[in-house]
């Protein structure tokens, strides 16, 4: 009457089942202590600068976003997720008479991507466009990257690139007192 019958013809007494459960819990505890189950090692890094960042129209190619890089150490191989967010402000050229259809900057874009240990990753890219009739337009960029990184030192850099000629500058202003507050992290 004190028998438990799992799958098949195997039968265990309750005290045998309890002993098996205790051994399995002990083994699971050992595996967690050894880091087999992705134990939380408190490894979370971030950067959220309060400085302004500006990409002027004269700058060509991919350049680092000011104050938005991070160097960290790993004690062994890890699968790492890197994410970024940025709220940017496009300052378009003033057009006498207005730009009511918003077409003056239809070929202007801002792109962002992550550079890890000197290697750019396209899959982390995002872009925005100031498709509006206003001289100032805000956009948000978000990107993610998952990598298998080895033990050692690693550096992550956020980069941006502009295309087009109608936007004088792309800006990130983290202060709220300019009515166009934005941020990057």
Asked whether residue 28 falls in the same domain as residue 76, the answer is no
> How many domains is the chain built from?
2
* Predicted pLDDT at 156: 92
CB 120 within 8 A of CB 112: no
What separation in angstroms does the CA of 14 have from each of 1, 29, 78?
Answer: 10, 23, 41
* DSSP SS3 for 47: coil
CA distance 114 to 122: 8
* Predicted pLDDT at 61: 92
* Predicted pLDDT at 57: 80
* Predicted pLDDT at 36: 45
* Domain enclosing residue 18, as ranges: 3-33
> Which residues face 138 on adjacent strands?
89
Asked whether residue 64 falls in the same domain as residue 12, the answer is no
Query: What stretches in the chain show pLDDT beneath 50?
Result: 7, 32-40
* Predicted pLDDT at 58: 79
8-state DSSP, 107: T
Asked whether residue 7 falls in the same domain as residue 63, the answer is no
């Amino acid at each position: 009457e004190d028998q438990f019958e799992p799958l098949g013809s195997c039968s265990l007494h309750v005290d045998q089942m309890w002993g098996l459960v205790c051994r399995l819990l002990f083994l699971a505890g050992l595996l967690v202590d050894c880091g087999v189950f992705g134990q939380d090692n408190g490894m979370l890094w971030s950067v959220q600068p309060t400085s302004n960042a500006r990409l002027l129209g004269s700058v060509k190619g991919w350049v680092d976003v000011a104050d938005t890089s991070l160097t960290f150490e790993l004690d062994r191989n890890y699968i790492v997720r890197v994410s970024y967010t940025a709220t940017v402000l496009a300052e378009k050229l003033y057009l006498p008479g207005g730009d009511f259809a918003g077409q003056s900057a239809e070929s202007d874009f801002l792109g962002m991507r992550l550079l890890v240990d000197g290697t750019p990753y396209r899959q982390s890219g995002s872009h925005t466009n100031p498709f509006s009739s206003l001289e100032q337009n805000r956009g948000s960029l978000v990107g993610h990257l998952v990598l298998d990184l080895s033990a050692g030192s690693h550096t992550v850099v956020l980069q941006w690139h502009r295309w087009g000629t109608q936007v004088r500058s792309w800006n990130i202003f983290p202060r709220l007192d300019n009515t166009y507050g934005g941020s990057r992290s």
